[in-house]
């Protein structure tokens, strides 16, 4: 089919911290060299920030490099961390607070800020546009374009106006080809194009599989007397058991808002575990509820995050392109921070591509990464994830303390975790059902009213964007073996097993609710669910997440 | 035929609005803003008239602060030929929006003015009617079908009783209802081009507009939550309860 | 003291109930007098009906050939001519009132208030914004108040009055640029339109099959109601999607909404938050819909639906 084609020097997929930093850096390099550069950023959310969600406590290292005068330029990085607490929750009521020396050094936050990543991205987008980059929101990069030699030649945006049955509606609009000698893929964790590229160019050969967590976050407006701007609180332990990695966060930001959430590692074993419900009951613990009482929940969202760290970083460049940010996976699991490394790798991608535009050939992203502080930082924390996976939370934490505070990450060996997350589930028959009590409607809530707060919407009449390779698997395999965990791991209640008297069980997909977290793509034991982008502009409309 | 389309910048219809705790308004910080959906429909109708050879020029106009230029650029990307920004610190209430638009109309002399029947933020449903009155033109509100002849338009209007058909002389003001059409998606290349097109600025002073005092906002509050009522134990009790409330004819 | 002019809505034969509700709003202003203007071709029943509304001081029957059908451009100059003797001009916020009144306000050079929900003072009103997701309280500037009234917020007044009916003839420039052609009724015998129906019977996943939805249709027919459905029922293929009520379907405000086998997810409730009375029937006592239902019945809808059809009188309309 004949699509319209637009030519650029660089196409960037994703207007998140990595993609936007790449755009800014490219334009800075071009302006310094007196060159004109056509850079296009394409973003599936309806606007920059619509699909951005992160804790977040932010380390300004990369920002200092990208815009040394960011403070003077009004970057929304204003709430300095004042106070850091780590609690180990023993049960639903009890806990103990870790004294300072027990916290692994990299987890401490002097010099960092509590921010809204969505706000920061909007600021970065303004900078990128002011520098001359073009950003197009509401357009999903649906597929990669290849040239005759098999190199990446750009992306094609998704068709709009396709009906559920695949036919063209009256307002059908074909996608457009965005062509460039180099494309930077910065789709965030488990990007769907990144997934394809990793397979096609074997980028994951000889590296550990990526490991993920699901982060479920809420924003609350709390009683002003309980608000402590700059307070950072982390929790370990309850409600997660010793075998399940994860932890909670409560950050006091600006405007009387508290940003809180729970991250559950997706290598959990119990198919009855419901990360959303774990997060909801976690809020009832005194360490968390002390801030929330009298407050109002105003935002909700969820997203998968990378935690494989150093051992899981894939090859980063391939003919015609590079990967940056969480699409490749640079989150530092010890610091539980990935925004600064996303920005830095975005900048490195820009530098690699800028050089390649001159010299031709494959951009040297890998080399730049290995020489950067991102590599050093991730290397130092490389044993964190595998230690927790191998030794459980208690012993694992002890190991980490020694590894980080005594040996500063320089232990002469590297642990590996080679079991992919989707292969970690025990059979339902061998697992214990978890009794989650009903949400109380004050501190805890149900999934549908949570999705409501994410302002999620999709054009109704469009093909389902959660594609099952084999439609029979949910009922014929996942249900008997694992009690179809999709019913529980999806934080948006997309997947349901519907049973009616006298009728066979049915796997229902409520694609309309999808918040684009990618957890189903990651956790389905049969790897049968393939997340592809729905029609551009659809999905959540997060406000300052 | 020149068609003037007025578009308003409003909170995107997907956003669940939250009221500010101090009751001074609705939280707008970081919230997605878009073209009023009914105005999108009006603009789409204008574009179709142009494609059908009935309109020769589409002029989009928006009143408000600098940010409304984003919506004017969207209008250009969708197919408007020109875009006019009437700058004001804040979007005016209908009584003054109509005055500004009337001033502009006297300058631009369109033969048809199209806009959405109401804005989804204030839900006033007044500006098109007021504009028509100030210009002394016919009005056809809540249009779900428009047929243009040489000097007249036949409009099907969605009214409570069904569909009402009016014939109006041109020039006229027509306000768009939901079922008039389904707007098209903007094309990425057109969005690119629209960023380079000029937007004309015309001030209220240029137009000689005299504004009148508007209603004063005292406070904004969330709606009262519906409470659970009573439970009944049988069909008979249910019927009795309905009868009691006068709900059965 | 306030003198209120209410613009009556009628179809030549019947006075629309909206007029009575608008009179109720007028009464909330505590006015000295309430006059009702009936614009008509000639003397008619609506004028007499208006005279019976409690609280009405006078009915002004404004006769003119052009008043045969309600054309905003014809009525507005007449309204503005009458308005000079009043402090308030009210019309129902129906398509009739919403069409005419802003035009009249513009001729008078004043702002208009749309959809009054509550009267808080001579010129202080509460009204819905953002589709009713927020309420604003506003104060109009000094001078005449021109406003439409949200009829669902006011109860019709009793009809035990006997106001005098005065014939008025107004001198005004009657425009000819707008011609009323015809009105086509919505369904002509079929079910009422879901968006504007007074009563809606709605079914959810609990119906379990497309065939079972016949029970919903049967009750709707008995009540002369429209039929709606939850998203779950639509997604399961029980009904086509133009029946979907909710955040991504239709947002409706019927006087009576009966929900069968609908759990009451917030997305569905968003579509019915402005309904007058919500009745819920569900076998799960914990279904969230019971938290907002005015009348709830925990029971098996397969028993309740047929029993209801039997117990209810056939709708006369």
pLDDT at C241 over 60: yes
CA distance A539 to chain B (A): 10
Interchain contact A452–C (C-beta under 8 A): yes
Question: Do C208 and A457 lie within an 8 Å CB cutoff?
Answer: no
**What subunits make at least 3 CB pairs under 8 angstroms with B?**
A, C
Report the residue of C267, C270, C271, C283 to disrupt the A interface, i.e. the one with the largest count of A CBs within 10 Å.
C267
Q: What pLDDT, in 10s, does the model give residues B156-211?
A: 999 988 899 999 999 999 999 999 999 999 999 999 999 999 999 999 999 999 99
Q: Which residue has tokens 């394809």?
A: A196
Interchain contact B53–A (C-beta under 8 A): no
**Residue C71, both tokens:** 């054309």
CA distance C239 to chain B (A): 21
The CA distance from A196 to A415, in Å, is: 28
Say if residue B214 is exposed, middle or buried (CB neighbours under 10 Å; 0-12, 13-18, 19+).
middle
Residue among A451, A457, A500 minimizing CB distance to C208:
A500
Question: Do B123 and C112 lie within an 8 Å CB cutoff?
Answer: no
Q: How many CA atoms lie within 13 A of A237 on its CB side?
A: 20
The CA distance from A175 to A182, in Å, is: 20
DSSP state of C177: S
Residue among A448, A457, A461 minimizing CB distance to C266:
A448
Q: Which residues contact A502 (CB under 8 A, 6 or more apart)?
A: none
pLDDT given at position C247:
85
Q: What pLDDT, in 10s, does the model give residues A459-477?
A: 989 999 999 999 999 999 9
Interchain contact C81–B (C-beta under 8 A): no
DSSP state of B203: -
Q: Which residues contact B18 (CB under 8 A, 6 or more apart)?
A: A298, B26, B27
**What pLDDT band is residue B105 in, cutting at 50, 70 and 90?**
very high
**What pLDDT band is residue A397 in, cutting at 50, 70 and 90?**
confident
Pick from A109, A35, A112, A117: nearest CA to A76:
A117
Say if residue A131 is exposed, middle or buried (CB neighbours under 10 Å; 0-12, 13-18, 19+).
middle
Q: How many CA atoms lie within 13 A of B181 on its CB side?
A: 21
Instruction: Provide DSSP, A352-419.
Output: HHHHHHHH-SS--HHHHHHTSHHHHHHHHTTTHHHHHHHHHHHHHHHHHHIIIIISTT--S------S
- Nearest chain A residue to B196, by CA: A134
Distance from CA of residue A221 to its chain's centroid? 24
Q: Cis ω on the peptide bond leading into residue B171 (within 30° of 0)?
A: yes
Interchain contact B185–A (C-beta under 8 A): yes
Q: What pLDDT, in 10s, does the model give residues C251-281?
A: 899 999 999 999 999 899 999 998 999 999 9
Interchain contact C81–A (C-beta under 8 A): no
The pTM score is 0.94
Residues of B in contact with A543 (CB under 8 A): 15, 27, 29-32
Lowest mean pLDDT: which of C128-132, C163-167, C190-194, C210-214?
A: C190-194
pLDDT given at position C238:
92
Distances (CA, A) of C229 to B52, C132, C210, C244: 39, 22, 12, 5
**Residue B20, both tokens:** 């500010």
Interchain contact C266–A (C-beta under 8 A): yes
The CA distance from A205 to A201, in Å, is: 9
The H or E element that residue A199 is part of is helix A192-200
Residue among B15, B188, B195 minimizing CB distance to A541:
B15
pLDDT given at position A102:
75
pLDDT given at position B92:
97
Contact A18, A343 (CB under 8 A): yes
**What pLDDT band is residue A458 in, cutting at 50, 70 and 90?**
very high
Distance from CA of residue A298 to its chain's centroid? 21
Contact C263, C247 (CB under 8 A): no
Distances (CA, A) of B242 to A488, B225, B236, B249: 40, 22, 10, 10
pLDDT given at position C189:
60
Q: What are phi and psi of B141, to 5 degrees?
A: -95, 160
Q: What pLDDT, in 10s, does the model give residues C113-135?
A: 999 999 999 999 999 999 999 99
Average per-residue pLDDT for chain A = 94
pLDDT given at position C169:
87
Distances (CA, A) of B245 to B126, B242, C25, C229: 34, 5, 20, 24
Report the residue of A300, A445, A495, A500 to disrupt the C interface, i.e. the one with the largest count of C CBs within 10 Å.
A500
pLDDT at B89 over 90: yes
Contact A172, A162 (CB under 8 A): yes
Pick from C287, C285, C282: nearest CA to C300:
C282
CA distance B158 to chain C (A): 8
Question: For residues C133-158, b (16+ Cβ closer than 10 Å) or e, as one string?
Answer: bbbbbbbbeeebbbbbbbbbbbebbe
pLDDT given at position C18:
94
Interchain contact B243–A (C-beta under 8 A): no
Interchain contact C173–B (C-beta under 8 A): no
Question: Do A134 and B183 lie within an 8 Å CB cutoff?
Answer: no
Residues of C in contact with B8 (CB under 8 A): none
Question: Do A176 and B29 lie within an 8 Å CB cutoff?
Answer: no
Residues of C in contact with B164 (CB under 8 A): 180-184
pLDDT at A189 over 70: yes
Torsion sign (Cα): C147, C151, C152, C155: positive
ipTM field: 0.95
pLDDT at A377 over 70: yes
Q: What pLDDT, in 10s, does the model give residues B63-76?
A: 999 999 999 999 99
CA distance B200 to chain C (A): 27
Q: Cis ω on the peptide bond leading into residue A56 (within 30° of 0)?
A: yes
Q: What pLDDT, in 10s, does the model give residues A219-234?
A: 999 999 999 999 999 9
| pLDDT above 90 coverage of chain C, percent | 82
Question: Do A501 and C231 lie within an 8 Å CB cutoff?
Answer: no
Interchain contact A165–C (C-beta under 8 A): no
Q: Which residues contact B70 (CB under 8 A, 6 or more apart)?
A: B9, B33
pLDDT given at position C315:
66
DSSP state of A478: I
pLDDT at C317 over 60: no
Chain C, 192 to 251: residues with Cβ < 8 Å from chain B are 196, 199, 224
The CA distance from B79 to B52, in Å, is: 13
Question: Do C277 and B94 lie within an 8 Å CB cutoff?
Answer: no
Start-to-end CA distance of chain A, whole Å, equals 39
CA angle C50/C56/C59 to nearest 5° reads: 55
Question: For residues C93-118, b (16+ Cβ closer than 10 Å) or e, as one string?
Answer: bbbbbbbbbbbbbbbbebbbbbbbbe
**What subunits make at least 3 CB pairs under 8 angstroms with A?**
B, C
Q: Which residues contact A308 (CB under 8 A, 6 or more apart)?
A: A208, A209, A210, A211, A212, A329, A333, A385, A417
Pick from B27, B36, B107, B113: nearest CA to B70:
B36
pLDDT at A356 over 70: yes
Q: What pLDDT, in 10s, does the model give residues C126-174?
A: 999 999 999 999 999 999 999 999 998 999 999 999 999 999 989 888 9
The CA distance from A19 to A328, in Å, is: 12
Q: Which residues contact B162 (CB under 8 A, 6 or more apart)?
A: C183, C184, C185, C186
Lowest mean pLDDT: which of B46-60, B185-199, C182-196, C246-260?
A: C182-196
Interchain contact C270–A (C-beta under 8 A): yes
**What pLDDT band is residue C300 in, cutting at 50, 70 and 90?**
very high
| pLDDT above 70 coverage of chain B, percent | 100
pLDDT given at position C316:
60
pLDDT at C187 over 70: no
Question: For residues C68-89, b (16+ Cβ closer than 10 Å) or e, as one string?
Answer: ebbbbbbbbbbbbbbbeebbbb
Pick from C104, C247, C81, C60: nearest CA to C173:
C81
pLDDT given at position A153:
98
The CA distance from B120 to B125, in Å, is: 9
pLDDT given at position B134:
98
Average per-residue pLDDT for chain C = 93
The CA distance from A226 to A386, in Å, is: 37
Residues of B in contact with C182 (CB under 8 A): 164-165
Chain A, 495 to 514: residues with Cβ < 8 Å from chain C are 498, 500-501, 503, 506, 508, 510, 512
The residues facing C295 across adjacent strands are: B230, C279
Contact A516, A52 (CB under 8 A): no
The CA distance from B215 to A78, in Å, is: 38
pLDDT given at position C103:
98
Mean pLDDT of C50-70: 95
Give the max Cα distance, chain C. 65
Q: What pLDDT, in 10s, does the model give residues C2-41?
A: 999 999 999 999 999 999 999 999 999 999 999 999 999 9
**What subunits make at least 3 CB pairs under 8 angstroms with C?**
A, B
Residues of B in contact with C134 (CB under 8 A): 17, 19, 26, 220-223
CA distance A454 to chain B (A): 8
Torsion sign (Cα): A58, A62, A63, A68: positive
| pLDDT above 70 coverage of chain A, percent | 100
pLDDT at A375 over 90: yes
Q: Cis ω on the peptide bond leading into residue A109 (within 30° of 0)?
A: no
pLDDT given at position A107:
74
**What pLDDT band is residue C80 in, cutting at 50, 70 and 90?**
very high
**Residue B68, both tokens:** 């409304």
Residues of C in contact with A501 (CB under 8 A): 208
DSSP state of A477: I
Question: Do C72 and B218 lie within an 8 Å CB cutoff?
Answer: no
pLDDT given at position A1:
66
pLDDT at A210 over 60: yes
**What pLDDT band is residue A128 in, cutting at 50, 70 and 90?**
very high
Contact A347, A22 (CB under 8 A): yes
């Amino acid at each position: 089919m004949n699509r319209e084609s637009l030519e650029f020097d660089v196409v960037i997929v994703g207007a998140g911290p990595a993609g936007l930093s790449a755009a800014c850096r490219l334009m800075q390099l071009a302006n310094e060299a007196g060159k004109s550069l056509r850079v296009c950023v394409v973003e599936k959310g309806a606007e920059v920030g619509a699909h951005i969600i992160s804790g977040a406590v932010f380390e300004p290292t990369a920002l200092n490099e990208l815009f040394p005068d960011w403070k003077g330029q009004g970057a929304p990085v204003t709430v300095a961390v004042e106070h850091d607490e780590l609690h180990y929750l023993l049960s639903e009521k009890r806990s103990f607070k870790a004294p300072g020396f027990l916290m692994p050094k990299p987890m401490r936050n002097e010099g960092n800020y509590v921010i809204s990543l969505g706000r920061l991205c909007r600021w970065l987008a303004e900078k990128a546009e002011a520098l001359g980059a073009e950003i197009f929101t509401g357009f999903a990069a649906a597929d990669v374009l290849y040239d005759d030699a098999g190199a990446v030649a750009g992306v094609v945006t998704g068709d709009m106006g396709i009906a559920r049955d695949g036919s063209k509606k009256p307002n059908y609009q074909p996608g457009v080809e965005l062509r460039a000698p180099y494309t930077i893929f910065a789709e965030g964790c488990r990007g769907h194009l990144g997934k394809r590229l990793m397979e096609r160019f074997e980028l994951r050969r000889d590296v550990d599989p990526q490991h993920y967590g699901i982060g479920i976050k809420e924003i609350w407006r709390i009683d002003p007397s309980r608000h402590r701007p700059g307070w950072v609180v982390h929790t370990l332990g309850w409600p997660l058991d010793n075998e399940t990695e994860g932890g909670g966060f409560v950050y006091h930001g600006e405007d009387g808002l508290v940003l809180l959430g729970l991250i559950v590692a997706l290598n959990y074993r119990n198919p009855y575990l419901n990360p959303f419900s774990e997060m909801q009951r976690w809020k009832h613990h005194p360490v968390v509820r002390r801030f929330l009482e009298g407050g109002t929940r105003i935002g909700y969202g969820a997203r998968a995050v990378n935690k494989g760290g150093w051992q899981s970083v894939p090859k980063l460049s391939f003919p015609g392109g590079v990967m940056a940010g969480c699409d490749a996976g640079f989150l530092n699991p010890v610091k539980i921070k990935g925004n600064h490394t996303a920005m830095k790798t975005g900048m490195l991608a820009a530098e690699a591509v800028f050089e390649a535009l001159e010299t031709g050939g494959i951009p040297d992203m890998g080399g730049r990464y290995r020489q950067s502080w991102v590599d050093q930082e991730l290397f130092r924390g490389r044993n964190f994830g595998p230690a927790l996976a191998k030794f459980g939370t208690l012993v694992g934490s002890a190991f980490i303390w020694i590894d980080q505070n005594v040996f500063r990450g320089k232990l002469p060996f590297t642990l590996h975790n080679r079991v992919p997350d989707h292969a970690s589930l025990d059979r339902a028959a061998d697992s214990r059902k978890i009794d989650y009590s009903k949400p109380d409607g004050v501190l805890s809530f149900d999934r549908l009213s949570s999705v409501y707060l994410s302002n999620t919407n999709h054009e109704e009449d469009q093909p389902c964007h959660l594609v099952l390779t084999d439609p029979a698997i949910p009922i014929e395999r996942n249900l008997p073996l694992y009690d179809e965990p999709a019913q529980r791991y999806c934080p948006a209640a997309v997947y349901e097993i519907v049973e009616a008297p006298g009728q066979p069980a049915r796997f229902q997909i409520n694609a309309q609710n999808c918040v684009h977290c990618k957890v189903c793509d990651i956790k389905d034991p049969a790897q049968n669910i393939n997340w592809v982008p729905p029609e551009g502009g659809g999905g959540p409309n997060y406000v300052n997440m | 035929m020149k068609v003037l389309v007025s578009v308003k910048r409003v909170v995107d219809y997907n956003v669940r609005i939250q009221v500010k705790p101090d009751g001074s308004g609705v939280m707008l910080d970081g919230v997605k803003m878009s073209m009023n959906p009914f105005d999108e429909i009006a603009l789409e109708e204008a574009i179709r008239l142009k494609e059908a050879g009935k309109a020769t020029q589409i002029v989009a106009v928006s009143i408000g602060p600098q940010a409304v230029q984003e919506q004017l650029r969207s209008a250009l990307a969708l197919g408007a030929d020109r875009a006019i920004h009437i700058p004001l610190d804040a979007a005016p209430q209908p009584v003054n929006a109509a005055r500004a638009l009337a001033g502009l109309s006297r300058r631009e002399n369109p033969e048809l003015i199209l806009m959405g029947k109401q804005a989804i933020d204030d839900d006033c449903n007044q500006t098109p009617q007021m504009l028509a009155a100030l210009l002394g033109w016919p009005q056809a509100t809540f249009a779900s079908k428009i047929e243009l002849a040489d000097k007249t338009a036949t409009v099907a209007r969605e009214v409570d009783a069904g569909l009402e058909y009016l014939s109006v002389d041109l020039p006229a003001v027509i306000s768009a209802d939901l079922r008039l059409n389904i707007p098209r998606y903007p094309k990425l290349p057109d969005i690119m081009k629209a960023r380079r097109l000029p937007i004309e600025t015309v001030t209220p002073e240029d137009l000689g507009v005299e504004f009148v005092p508007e209603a004063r906002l005292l406070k904004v509050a969330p709606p009262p939550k519906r409470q659970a009522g009573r439970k009944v134990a049988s069909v008979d009790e249910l019927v009795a309860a309905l009868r009691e409330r006068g709900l059965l004819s | 003291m306030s003198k209120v002019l209410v613009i009556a809505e009628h179809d030549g034969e019947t006075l629309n109930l909206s007029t009575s509700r608008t009179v109720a709003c007028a009464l909330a202003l505590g006015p000295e007098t309430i006059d009702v203007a009936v614009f008509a071709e000639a003397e008619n029943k609506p004028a007499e009906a208006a005279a019976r509304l409690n609280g009405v001081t006078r009915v002004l029957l404004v006769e003119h050939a052009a008043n045969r059908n309600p054309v905003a451009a014809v009525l507005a100059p007449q309204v503005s001519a009458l308005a000079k003797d009043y402090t308030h001009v009210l019309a129902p916020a129906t398509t009739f009132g919403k069409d005419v009144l802003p035009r009249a306000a513009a001729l008078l050079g004043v702002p208009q208030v749309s959809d009054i929900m509550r009267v808080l003072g001579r010129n202080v009103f509460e009204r819905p914004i953002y589709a009713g997701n927020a309420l604003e309280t506003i104060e109009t500037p000094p001078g005449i108040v021109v406003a439409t009234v949200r009829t669902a917020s006011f109860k019709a007044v009793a009809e035990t009055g006997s106001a005098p009916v005065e014939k008025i003839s107004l001198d005004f420039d009657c425009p000819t640029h707008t011609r009323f052609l015809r009105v086509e009724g919505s369904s002509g015998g079929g079910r009422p339109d879901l968006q504007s129906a007074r009563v809606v019977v709605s079914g959810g996943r609990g119906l379990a099959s497309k065939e079972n939805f016949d029970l919903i249709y049967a009750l709707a027919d008995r009540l002369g109601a429209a039929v709606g459905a939850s998203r779950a029922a639509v997604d399961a293929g029980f009904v086509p999607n133009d029946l979907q009520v909710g955040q991504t379907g239709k947002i409706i405000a019927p006087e009576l909404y009966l929900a069968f086998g609908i759990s009451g997810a917030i997305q569905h409730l968003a579509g019915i938050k402005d309904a007058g009375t919500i009745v819920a029937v569900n076998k799960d006592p914990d279904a969230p819909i019971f938290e907002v239902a005015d009348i709830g019945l925990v029971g098996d809808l397969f028993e309740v639906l047929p029993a209801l059809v039997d117990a209810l009188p056939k709708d006369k309309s």
